[in-house]
Amino acid sequence: MGTTTASRTDLTKILREAIVSGEYAPNQRLIEADLSATYGASRAAVRTALLELAAEGIVDRLPNRGSRVRAIPLPEAIEILEVRISLEGLCAAKAAENITDAEITEFTQLRADILAAAQSDLFEYSRLNQLLDRRIREIANHPTAVAILERLRAQGVRHQFRLAFYPGRAAVSAPEHAAIIDAITSRDPVRAEAETRTHLASVIQALRTIG
């Protein structure tokens, strides 16, 4: 949690990431005074950040009742994933083009950690998946795609958290993540994009199945 004054832009990003990481649950009230104290920001900055998150579809602003984390219905979450497929694929391709030797070493270790966690620690597995997604976006170095993806991910992340802990799902998704890493570390942008699309299509199908 931050203790120094955050700018409006920083605060919007901080709150978005807090919602993505599960610090705030769907339908949880977001009280301006509490957020102001937690993040060392003015009430005006908090209010502006909440308005921006409401415009992104992440927060609901309720007349005379303040704000709360928006609960995204499953059909909308699936639509978000359908939009994300192209952007995630683009970022994977760019990451394959940009990845350095040091980052290949990092991804090789991350691959091993993901496969191990999938068998024994689903909380760690979920965390590592988020780390992989973030590192792909960072290495891709495509600010426009990343800015859109950050907003879309925040809207649909709850359903993916639920899916990550669904019995047997990790055994399916871990090899898919490994295939994405293999393509990126091979510096093969076409395969990296294809593996990413395959994985997200699998996520969509699984969400439709479990409802």
SS (HEC) of 9-50? HHHHHHHHHHHHHCCCCCCCEECHHHHHHHHCCCHHHHHHHH
pLDDT at 210: 80
**Helix %, strand %, coil % of the chain (to 5):** 75, 5, 20
Measured from the Cβ of residue 74, the count of other Cβ atoms closer than 10 Å reads: 15
Q: Phi first, then psi: give them for residue 167, nearest 5 degrees.
A: -55, 125
**Which amino acid would we find at residue 3?**
T
Dump pLDDT digits (tens) for 148-189: 998 887 777 667 667 777 888 999 999 999 999 999 999 999
pLDDT at 157: 67
From CA 211, how far away is CA 39, in angstroms rounded? 36
pLDDT at 2: 42
List, in order, residues 6 or more apart from 37 with CB less than 8 Å away: none
Half-sphere exposure of 4 (CA within 13 A, CB side): 2
pLDDT at 66: 87
pLDDT at 98: 98
Instruction: Please identify every stretch of the chain with a pLDDT value under 50, giving residue numbers as ranges.
Output: 1-5
pLDDT at 171: 93
pLDDT at 6: 55
**Which amino acid would we find at residue 21?**
S
pLDDT at 187: 98
